[in-house]
Amino acid sequence: MRLASIDVLRTVAIVIMVVVHFLENLSGVRDWSPDGFGAPLFAFLTGASTRLWATARSQRGTPSQHITLVLVRRGLFLFTLGLTFNLLIWLPDDLWTWDVLTFLGTASLLLAAIRHMPTAAAILCAALAALISPALQQIAWYHEWWANGYYEPGETLSEICLGFLVVGYFPLFPWIALPITGYLAAAPLTSPARPKSNPPPNADPNLRSNKHRPTTPQRPVLLAAFGLISVSIALLLVGTQSPSALLRWTMFPASLPYLTGMTGITILLLFACHHWLDQASAKPLPIPGLRTAALFSRYSLTLYLLHHAVHIWPLWLAGLWLNGEPTALWAQALNWKLSLALACVFLAVTPTLLAAFDRRRIPTIETLMRWLCEDSPTAAQHRTRHFQE
Amino acid sequence: MQGPCNTLEFLPPNATLLRIVFAAAPPHGSQSLPGFSDPLNAGIHAWKLPESAPPLDSELLCIQLTPHLPDQSDAHADDSHSLPHNIPDSLLLWCASAPAARGRGAAFAALHNAQLAWAPGRAVLCAEPDTLPLVTPALLEFAWLAAELESIESQLNPRWKELHADIPAAFHTPTLTPEQQSQLRERFCHAVAAKARLVQIAPLIESPPVYPPTIASQAGERLREKARLPERLEALREQLDTFTHVYEIAAQRLSETTASRSSLQLEWLIVVLLAFEVLLILVEILSRNST
């Protein structure tokens, strides 16, 4: 099930992410860059697309156990890829920084379990993950790990685990709340819309059956989104009167106002895009760039790896060449205008590159993931029989 | 001979056509018909419809006929009418050809000084003027009983297909959608309601013969016997037992599934709370152990 809304939003997240990373890593710009908007959108969409994928598979007759198996494999693949990425891009010193890939891998593993939970338990999980995190950050002395403005990973097992759970770049808590919310919020997108057929002209208006009434399964989710945004605004207003850092809009650590606000905004964005892009699919909207959005979305993992490789490796090489230390030029190599221009050039070149990948069927990291995590049709049929037996 | 208008063409001069409806509320322009005692105390009355009223599906066309006593001039004119209480063949044929009878013919009962013929929706009663008020209530009660039984039968017949489709639900319900659950609930209620109705009217059909017998009691007993009401009651009872048996098990299974879902949900909530408590302790331990 490929939805244009998901493609467009994922493209937006990728574009923000590319711009933010170029600006931050090459120029050290963090004050005004939109760094808090890409990652939550990406995490939320992971949950939503997991649900869409699982529902589509289920409707095609794939056994539930097999769906879980693929999700677990995908989670393990992303986790391993995340660690490999840290090793190769951020160098061995930053192996345990817990970047977004390791988080998405863990999220995929947890979503495999959350699929089997009742909705109420999944909602409780997301709510507790968000609510308990300020306490966890206090217990773990979060700010001690971020003394220089970036995360400095520890080396002992306890420190590594603490980084994974609470204090890393994308720790499990509270970030797991976003994929879970995405998974839950995507439910109305997967339920088939009831036909809004007109009742027979001679039908008694008091006896009209339910099937003639338009259903609004999106209403509770939209109400929840507005509720979350309201909570975020209320917390921020309280925060202006309080010296506590917990009530400010911060991404590192992901504060409660930030998390609730971003969750609400992403839900609204998803439903707005779904309303304008997906539900009008009977007569496709002439929006330019939908094809590019689909390409960006399909190759999002490749793009994530590629944009890091094209700006971080040259940075390390330059640092090593000029100062003998790979990270010497980090965040101070270029002025922000040049970094922004480079990001734009990368984004301009990418569609052509991805189209070539697509046309020539060049294997990408997505191909490897599918090859490792998903069965061939024959193997899937065999496994289906096995599960049925 | 499909409607009352046609009937009037050959209606003998000593006959009266009544259009009767059994209902709680009087239809427009109708008059209460005395003699019908509400058997179930459910507020049902027999109403006599005016001639001008539009035809109703549930109405009973009843021809009351007083015997044509032969005088000397036509004493031997027609052998078939030699007995004074005989219903003319034309009226018997009219009665038997009732559309609701579906070719099953009419039930006929001959008493000492009265004759009765009945088919669903039509009845002919021939009796002397002093006997007529005694036999009419018996005929009305019988007609009402037969209509009730017919109504349950006609409701049940189209539901066999649904029953066959619902049999698996008696074994396994978790895959049922809320709409299917609601359908199942509705069918269960319908089967139980039909059975309750049957149980209510059963004593009236299976009542023992009245002693000493009266002409009214004899008329009712004969008609019930001729129309095979006890046999039809027994068959309906068995059919409804099958329906209620399947739907009772399905309802039980559905209720168990719903209860187990609630309990599973509660268990999950407890597990999640415990997991977060463990997480708090874990982070505290990890924090204490890190430098």
Residue pLDDT, tens place only, A338-382? 999 999 999 999 999 999 998 998 999 999 999 999 876 566 666
Residue A246 pLDDT class (50, 70, 90 cuts) = confident
Note the pLDDT of residue B178.
80
**pLDDT score of B26 more than 60:** yes
Neighbouring residues of A241: CB distance < 8 A, sequence distance ≥ 6: none
Per the document, the length of chain B is 291
**pLDDT score of B199 more than 70:** yes
CB A10 within 8 A of CB A274: no
Lowest mean pLDDT among A336-340, B60-64, B169-173: B169-173
The answer to whether B272 contacts A121, with C-beta atoms less than 8 Å apart, is yes
d(CA A235, CA A230): 9
Q: Is B186 on the interface with A (CB under 8 A)?
A: no
Rounded to two decimals, the ipTM of the complex is 0.83
Q: Tell me the pLDDT tens digit for each residue of A68-125.
A: 999 999 999 999 999 999 999 999 999 999 999 999 999 999 999 999 999 999 999 9
First to last CA, chain A: 28
Question: How far is the CA of A239 from the CAs of A128, A172, A255, in angstroms?
Answer: 21, 25, 11
- Quickly count: other Cβ atoms within 10 Å of residue A268's Cβ: 16
Residue that wins the pLDDT comparison between A388 and A151? A151
pTM above 0.90, yes or no: no
d(CA A23, CA A29): 5
Q: Hey, which residues 64-123 in chain A have their CB within 8 Å of chain B? A: 117-118, 120-121
Phi/psi for A181 (5° steps) reads -65, -40
Q: Which residue of B has its CA nearest to A118?
A: B265
**pLDDT score of B266 more than 70:** yes
Average pLDDT in the A21-28 region? 93
Average pLDDT in the B69-97 region? 64
Q: Is B281 on the interface with A (CB under 8 A)?
A: no
Average pLDDT in the A49-73 region? 91
Helix (H, G, I), strand (E, B) or coil at B60: strand
Could you tell me the maximum CA-CA distance found in chain B, to the nearest angstrom? 133
Note the pLDDT of residue B77.
44
The answer to whether B290 contacts A118, with C-beta atoms less than 8 Å apart, is no
Mean pLDDT of chain A: 87
Q: Is A184 on the interface with B (CB under 8 A)?
A: no
Average pLDDT in the A233-249 region? 88
Residue A199 pLDDT class (50, 70, 90 cuts) = very low
The answer to whether B291 contacts A140, with C-beta atoms less than 8 Å apart, is no
Sign (positive or negative) of CA dihedral A162, A168, A170, A174: positive
d(CA A184, CA A181): 5
Average pLDDT in the A279-305 region? 80
The answer to whether A158 contacts B289, with C-beta atoms less than 8 Å apart, is yes
Q: Which residue of A has its CA nearest to B272?
A: A125
Note the pLDDT of residue B76.
45
Which residues in chain B have Cβ-Cβ distances shorter than 8 Å to A173? Answer: 279
Note the pLDDT of residue B53.
84
**pLDDT score of A383 more than 90:** no
Best B262, B263, B270, B272 member to test A by mutation, with max A CBs in 10 Å, is: B272
Which residues in chain A have Cβ-Cβ distances shorter than 8 Å to B271? Answer: 121
- Residue from A151, A162, A157, A153 nearest A93 by CA: A153
Residue A384 pLDDT class (50, 70, 90 cuts) = low
- Quickly count: other Cβ atoms within 10 Å of residue A314's Cβ: 13
Note the pLDDT of residue A81.
97
Closest CB from A120, A124, A139 relative to B283: A139
d(CA A124, CA A130): 10
- Residue from A111, A130, A104 nearest A54 by CA: A111
Q: Tell me the pLDDT tens digit for each residue of A172-196.
A: 999 999 999 999 999 887 765 544 4
Q: Which residue of A has its CA nearest to B276?
A: A128
Note the pLDDT of residue A154.
87
Sign (positive or negative) of CA dihedral B47, B48, B52, B56: positive
Q: Is B268 on the interface with A (CB under 8 A)?
A: yes
Q: Which residue of B has its CA nearest to A145?
A: B291
Note the pLDDT of residue A281.
53
In eight-state DSSP terms, residue A119 is: H
Note the pLDDT of residue B6.
45
Q: How much of chain A is in helix, strand and coil states, percent to nearest 5? A: 75, 0, 25
Q: Is A141 on the interface with B (CB under 8 A)?
A: yes
Q: Tell me the pLDDT tens digit for each residue of B211-233.
A: 888 988 999 999 999 999 999 99
Neighbouring residues of B290: CB distance < 8 A, sequence distance ≥ 6: A154, A156, A158, A159, A162
Share of chain A above pLDDT 70, in %: 87
Mean pLDDT of chain B: 84
Beta-carbon pairs below 8 A across chains A and B: 60
Note the pLDDT of residue A206.
40
